[in-house]
Amino acid sequence: MSVADGLQALRRLNADDLGFAQIDHHRAWRQAMPEVVYCEGKTVEQAAAILLRQAAVSTGPLLGTRANPALYDRIGHQGYDFEYVEEARLVVLRRGVPAPVGQVLAVSAGTADGPVLREAEVTAELMGAKVERLVDVGVAGLHRLLGHLDALYAARVVIVAAGMDGALPSVVAGLVDAPVIALPTSVGYGASLHGISALLTMLNSCAAGIGVVNIDNGFGAGYLAALINRGGVE
């Protein structure tokens, strides 16, 4: 393929310019992927304008991450069935979601990792993944995890959220043959360094088959899991 052809391939793309933001619709149109807005750092007005524009132009699912309740108040009653997943601070428009396929297992080390894990779960579900969850099975009580080996073995991809020592992904990856997405959380204090400790643990895992995402990046973990899961069921 020549550079000219490569450029030709990019030519189909077109951005929707709101002045303060450029919205891409092509990925959603092509692949029934959700359109996603990272709301932190945007004003409520900006985030609302983007989401409503997407709601009007696209027909697939929408996802606003790190959304505060004020955003939901602004867009909740504008003719679209937005819902607010408070625990995970998500604004979601569940429409055009593919029927769930495959198996993504979402695992957390502790209860406090729940909100981040939930963000991952919702993201993966919007992208058509069947998602199961297994929570509070950290390595300090191995029997909690070992009692669910069947769920671990059944997954096409496993998301493992953990803060503090971040040790759970290593243990899980040692048990399964599926890819493991390690999701560090900022749960902890002191030398946890707001999640840096868990992140480092996961990057240094002595078990193979692990890909790591940013601290508290439930969206990224869910998105990657859904991509892998989709590949596995095509």
Binding to its own copies in span 38-77, by CB under 8 A: 38, 40-42, 46, 50, 66
Interaction residues for its own copies, span 73-102 (CB under 8 A): none
142 binds its own copies (CB under 8 A): yes
Which residue of 156, 158, 160, 161 would you call a contact of its own copies, by CB under 8 A? 156
Which residue of 96, 98, 100, 209 would you call a contact of its own copies, by CB under 8 A? 209
132 binds its own copies (CB under 8 A): no
Q: Smallest distance, Å, CB 43 to its own copies?
A: 9
Handedness of CA 50, 56, 62, 66 (dihedral sign): positive
- How many chain residues are in contact with its own copies, going by CB under 8 A? 111
Which residue of 15, 56, 57, 70 would you call a contact of its own copies, by CB under 8 A? 15
| Bridge partners, residue 35, by sequence | 62
Looking at beta carbons only, is 90 or 213 nearer to its own copies? 213
Q: Smallest distance, Å, CB 95 to its own copies?
A: 20
Q: Smallest distance, Å, CB 219 to its own copies?
A: 7
Using the rule CB under 8 A, give the single segment among 67-75, 77-85, 90-98, 226-234 that binds its own copies: 226-234
Contact 185, 175 (CB under 8 A): no
> Mutual orientation of helices 218-233 and 114-126 as an angle, nearest 10°?
40
179 binds its own copies (CB under 8 A): yes
140 binds its own copies (CB under 8 A): yes
Alpha-carbon gap, residue 228 to 191, rounded angstroms: 33
Using the rule CB under 8 A, give the single segment among 23-31, 54-62, 77-85, 90-98 that binds its own copies: 23-31
Alpha-carbon gap, residue 169 to 109, rounded angstroms: 9
Contact 173, 150 (CB under 8 A): no
Which residue of 88, 110, 120, 160 would you call a contact of its own copies, by CB under 8 A? 110
Alpha-carbon gap, residue 120 to 106, rounded angstroms: 8
Q: How many helices (H) and strands (E) does the chain have?
A: 10, 11
CB burial of residue 124 (10 Å; 0-12, 13-18, 19+): buried
204 binds its own copies (CB under 8 A): yes
Handedness of CA 99, 104, 107, 113 (dihedral sign): negative
Centre a 10 Å sphere on the Cβ of residue 31 and count the other Cβ atoms it contains.
13
Looking at beta carbons only, is 55 or 228 nearer to its own copies? 228
